[in-house]
Structure 1
């Protein structure tokens, strides 16, 4: 049985097309999950909405706890890392991680950055051995997982190679963090032209919807155990 981890990070709670001021990234992630469930009814979906229920940001207590040997950890340290442990456990349980997120001021929302900071953790998602030429060993490399970033951008031409790509640090940041813990198959689809609106936005939404549908079909077909005869 395939397990999807469905994350949303937009500050907007609704879905574009259904709610006033609804989120385009949430609409894309909901479409992805709905189409996957239709194609593979036995799929398990774990839900995590960091946009509406953000994880706690890393602080001194978190750092102290995370870099204390488990045998030496106090009850307070274990309690401080309990949320991080839950987020990491969800990541380990997932075969496919679906991240719906807006592009805010050139990068990811702070709530999604808090999630990244909680799941990139020495001893849990990556091992660090300074004596080695490559000191980092990711723990999520096996079995292979796929991450799908479904983004919404106010501007345009921000895909790699685009005229405004230098203003987009969202997907590159997420890709680096995910690959660092072992998730190397990262796919991206985005809606653009939110600031322009009108026909340009409508065409971008339609193109992103087609891309999501094709991506779901491709990924489901590559996972025979996810298909139901």
Structure 2
């Protein structure tokens, strides 16, 4: 039975969040294919993981036998998050763009799970695990648009998840999500709706394709 690690990081509730809506659709289609599978869910907005501390950081480079009580406690929290990643057959991440970047809660999770010599380095422990990122954004940062140069979510996550952790990264990108709320973007609502519908279709297709991989 396959295990899906599902991480949300939007501060908005489900009914107001594009990343949550599309990730939920992906998860639903995944579970249709794996009704007896396991989903490990983390809502980083509702229950943030600790930001990296000096103890948590230095413990990753020290012999566990030499850990201080503070290092041991902080490192145990990191290991718990790392093991969730290592034990997952697939990963799903909701990553909305906030101020051109990812939510700080998602950055905190990444800082915890990136450990040189284990999850990162010459032989990443979760190497090859497929990860689908729902990278929603309020405007458009697609190639050829005026704000293309401000796209730091996909670029950053491709580097961290793909290059550092060795995961097999795929993106679903619903954009123009602010159009229904911002009067200045009213003329873009049809484009937003098309992007939303396309993202939901991609979520269904990608989830089913990925599930079939584990069913084979």
Do the two structures share a fold, i.e. TM-score over 0.5?
A: yes
Q: Secondary structure at the match of 1:191?
A: coil
| Shift >6 Å, 4+ stretches | none
Distance 2:30 2:107 in 1: 26
Question: Could you report, residue by residue, the CA deviation over 1:77-118 in whole angstroms, capped at 9, with x for unpaired residues?
Answer: 110112211110100110110001210111100000000100
Distance 2:212 2:74 in 1: 41
1:203 paired residue among 194, 199, 206: 194
Residue matched to 1:15: 14
Residue matched to 1:125: 119
Distance 1:50 1:203 in 2: 28
Distance 1:25 1:211 in 2: 13
Report which of the two has the higher share of helix.
2
Distance 1:73 1:123 in 2: 17
Alignment of 1:115-194 (within 5 A): 115-127=109-121, 136-141=122-127, 144-156=128-140, 158-159=141-142, 161-163=143-145, 164-179=147-162, 180-183=164-167, 185-194=168-177
Q: Secondary structure at the match of 2:52?
A: coil
Q: Structure 1 residue 208: deviation in Å?
A: 0.7
Alignment of 1:1-229 (within 5 A): 1-12=1-12, 14-16=13-15, 22-127=16-121, 136-141=122-127, 144-156=128-140, 158-159=141-142, 161-163=143-145, 164-179=147-162, 180-183=164-167, 185-197=168-180, 198-225=189-216
CA contact (8 A) 2:119 2:165 kept: yes
Name the Cα RMSD after superposition. 1.6
Q: Secondary structure at the match of 1:152?
A: coil
Q: What TM-score results when the alignment is normalised by the length of structure 1? A: 0.84
Q: Structure 2 vs 1, CA of residues 117 and 38 (structure 1 numbering), >3 Å: closer, same or farther?
A: same
CA contact (8 A) 2:19 2:134 kept: yes
Gaps of at least 5 residues in structure 1 are: 17-21, 128-135
Report which of the two has the higher share of strand.
1
Q: Secondary structure at the match of 2:106?
A: helix
Q: Secondary structure at the match of 2:95?
A: strand
Q: What TM-score results when the alignment is normalised by the length of structure 2? A: 0.89
Residue matched to 1:132: none
Gaps of at least 5 residues in structure 2 are: 181-188
